[in-house]
A and B are shown apart, each in its own frame.
Chain A
Amino acid sequence: MKFLQDITLGQYMPGDSFLHRLDPRTKFISLLLLMITTFLIKTFLALALLSAIFFLALILSRLSWSYVFRGVRVFLWLFLFSAAVHLFFTPGPSLPFFPIGFIDITWTGAEKGILVASQLFLAILLSSLMTLTTSPLQLSHGLEKLIYPLKRFHVPVEDFSMMTMLAIKFIPILLGEANRIIKAQSARGVDFESGNFFRRAKNMVPILTPLFHSVFKRADDLAIALLARGYVSGLKRTHLHELKMKGKDYWVLLGILGFVILELTI
């Protein structure tokens, strides 16, 4: 049940640090710039500087370090895989004591493996700092503002933002609904656990049909509710908490921009 409560917040950790109070747009643009930089750098000096920036942000976020590092655990295989393909499969002069049996690690392989794995590690840590300090609602709000100029090309920006909110709210509701239907159907004797492939696949019909039935009904009810409250699609909408870029946002952006230029020149 824990999952049901947590999902609308995602990985967000509520707080009141410097990083939490930055405008989501600032965090978004900074993250984009830093992530691109991470993959353009080629030297260990540049990598060290970038790590310093990450730790500075980590301190400013006032999050528990172990929580942040535990959060990227799901990417562990990616790091190991990316390091391994370089470590064991790069030709060149071997490290001392190697090759041991058929395992061979070369200098260039070790160098590249460490560089690439740390690039991935840093990029993912940086991106998780953003999602940890910004709620999904704030992020989608920031995204709406960022893609607002696309309105000129007939992209329905407001509607898209509305859909984001609706979908975020719907996920836990539909998840609960699906669970209830599965339980109800097994109580009626649908056997999900045995039978051959096609028989089991056919068992999806008694899950999906009631699920879609309730989805259509919900959509109808909600459409009437929105219509009754005077919702008009495509109209300019205001928010309860309007986003506002403050002085510190501009300073952060300027700082990041300067840092990126520095990184790319060394």
Chain B
Amino acid sequence: MKNKIKNIIMVSLFAALTAVGAFIKIPIPYVPLTLQTLMVMLAGLILGSRLGALSQILYLTIGLIGLPIFAQGGGPGYVLQPSFGFLVGFIAGAYVIGKVVERERSLSFPRTLAALLLGQAAIYLFGISYLYFNLNYIINKPISLFTTLKIGFLVFIPGDILKTLVAASIMAPIRRRLTLIQ
């Protein structure tokens, strides 16, 4: 019973952490680094696939019922933002990352990096698909898939790969210290 209750609490804590992560900005020139994507990755790494994804579903739900925890506020109207798909992608991202690492006892750097890159890919898959849908059917402007890729993917790729590398490299010391605590 205690484990189940603890899972409930950990999932809600990670949903709250994802929300908090959006507000903590590390001032790095050119690539604004918020802790948010890092929290999504940590949710997958620490909670595993199912619970990690659940924490992100929770984050999405709380934002949609009106708490201003997304990048630009919150509320049900947020589903109309072209970038909404990336938030949905967090769910898939945390799930994929959790799936890759949950069987491993000790994590090597290459495996962590691979997990995080796959997670990023999952986030982009949802983000780009929704961007395409939103532009074509809600904003009602026929735009080719290639143009969508250009504005939603290619521009951000260098920054995101850099962020993922950083995330993977600081994940190891964090995990080491956390296992010491637990």
Q: List A residues at the B interface (Cβ < 8 Å).
A: 7-8, 10-12, 31, 35, 39, 72, 74-75, 78, 81-82, 85-86, 89, 112, 116, 120, 123-124, 126-128, 130-131, 134, 136, 139-140, 143, 159-160, 162-164, 166-168, 170-171, 173-175, 178, 182, 192-193, 197-198, 200-205, 207-209, 211-213, 215-216, 218-220, 222-224, 226-227, 231-233
Nearest-CB residue, chain A, relative to B166: A201
* Residues in A whose Cβ lies below 8 Å from that of B5: 223, 226-227, 231, 233
* Residues in B whose Cβ lies below 8 Å from that of A85: 139, 141
B9, B24, B178: which contacts A207 (Cβ < 8 A)?
Answer: B24
How many angstroms between the C-alpha atoms of A8 and B68 in the bound complex?
Answer: 9
B62 and A164 form a contact (CB under 8 A)? yes
Q: Does B155 contact A (CB under 8 A)?
A: no
* Residues in B whose Cβ lies below 8 Å from that of A173: 16
How many angstroms between the C-alpha atoms of A231 and B26 in the bound complex?
Answer: 39
* Residues in B whose Cβ lies below 8 Å from that of A159: 8
Q: What 1/0 flags go to B121-153 for Cβ under 8 Å of A? A: 000000000000000001111000000000000
A8, A128, A174, A227: which contacts B13 (Cβ < 8 A)?
Answer: A174
Interface residues on chain B, number (Cβ under 8 Å): 59
B67 and A123 form a contact (CB under 8 A)? no
* Residues in B whose Cβ lies below 8 Å from that of A112: 140
Nearest-CB residue, chain B, relative to A220: B6
The 9 closest A-B pairs by CB, nearest first: A131-B66, A170-B16, A166-B12, A124-B77, A10-B66, A127-B77, A201-B166, A127-B76, A167-B12
Given A219-B13, A222-B9 in contact, is the A168-B67 Cβ separation under 8 Å?
yes
* Residues in B whose Cβ lies below 8 Å from that of A231: 5
How many angstroms between the C-alpha atoms of A8 and B74 in the bound complex?
Answer: 12
Residue of A31, A160, A171, A212 contacting most chain B CB atoms (<10 Å):
A171
How many angstroms between the C-alpha atoms of A212 and B47 in the bound complex?
Answer: 13
Query: Interface stretch among B27-35, B96-104, B107-115?
Result: B27-35
Q: Does B118 contact A (CB under 8 A)?
A: no
A204 and B170 form a contact (CB under 8 A)? yes
A127-B77, A163-B12, A205-B173 known; 12 new pairs, CB 8 Å cut-off, are A7-B68, A124-B77, A124-B80, A136-B62, A162-B12, A163-B11, A168-B67, A170-B12, A175-B20, A201-B26, A203-B26, A207-B24
Q: Does B105 contact A (CB under 8 A)?
A: no
Q: Does B15 contact A (CB under 8 A)?
A: yes
A7, A120, A193, A212: which contacts B174 (Cβ < 8 A)?
Answer: A212
* Residues in A whose Cβ lies below 8 Å from that of B82: 78
How many angstroms between the C-alpha atoms of A216 and B175 in the bound complex?
Answer: 13
How many angstroms between the C-alpha atoms of A178 and B13 in the bound complex?
Answer: 13
How many angstroms between the C-alpha atoms of A112 and B139 in the bound complex?
Answer: 10
B76 and A204 form a contact (CB under 8 A)? no
How many angstroms between the C-alpha atoms of A134 and B162 in the bound complex?
Answer: 41
Q: Which of B72-99 contact A (CB under 8 A)?
A: 72-77, 80-82
